[in-house]
Amino acid sequence: MLPKDVQAILEEMKAEKIRGASYLAKKGAEAYIKLSDLLDGFELSSAIEELSREILNVNPTMASLYNLTHFIKPSQDPEFVKAKAQEFIKLSEEARKEIGNIGSELIDDGDIIITHSFSSTVLEIFKAAKVKGKMFRIILTESSPDYEGLALAKELKKIGISFEIITDAQIGFFAKKSTLAFVGADNITQDGCVINKAGTYLLALACFDNGIPLYVAAESFKIHPKLKAEEIEIVERKFKRNHFLIRNFLFDVTPWRYVRGIITELGILVPPKEL
């Protein structure tokens, strides 16, 4: 049984519906830090194995959680565990800033950028472009049913970036009015597919059909080292509305051929020509 303070972090992770893979990976790393503050020796090593299983179960779709649990190995030394968790957090923060710098160079004055859902990495790109003095406008979907887009709107309003919100059903209509598209990712599979908030695939299709370049912003720890798209478990969270059961897969799969490039802290990955 994990300590109550660690269980509380896990419950917070399970309850989170707005912030995505980067946030949950950071919270997971904080759970390891808390565990190292409370246990040592064999108890710590055993608890790390249990914590890793629980973190993976928070959201099996997210590669960030998989890579986190493989970055921090079972150990009886609390200082080692804490140092590894802190290193993961530091590397992820540095990666997000570097992606912001790289991605912001893709934005030109006058661009109209469409995005879907809430990505802290995409937000970092917008912040960096704003600091560089670039003038642009954002079209963002409300991203139902959890409305992550409204959370992004609040952040954009804080930093003074112009935006307008559309319903998800208008993705196709507004994609052709855009000049550029950015989305985040919860998983990039071994075969190059992008798994992100459901609706990303539709946006990618609309952008492809209208010649709008779509870029994915993702830290390298969101790349799954082993699994292909068909092997990833896509989480579904059903809900009821007006007494009707609504199917609600949280993610969809976008083939790499519809993506202009994947922006990582190591540079921009482009799809092979045969795709």
Burial of residue 32 (CB within 10 Å: 0-12, 13-18, 19+) is buried
Q: Which residue has the tokens 């600091």?
A: 131
Q: Which amino acid is at 55?
A: I
Burial of residue 105 (CB within 10 Å: 0-12, 13-18, 19+) is middle
Phi, psi for 255 (deg, rounded to 5)? -60, 150
* Adjacency order of strands within the sheet including 251-254: 187-188, 194-197, 251-254
Q: How far is CA 245 from the centre of its chain?
A: 27
Residue 186 bears catalytic tag: yes
The Cα–Cα gap between 172 and 92 comes to: 33
Q: Which residue has the tokens 């710590």?
A: 44
Give me the catalytic one of 109, 186, 209, 252. Answer: 186
Phi, psi for 163 (deg, rounded to 5)? -155, 160
Per-residue tokens: 23: 């946030």
Annotated active-site positions, please? 186
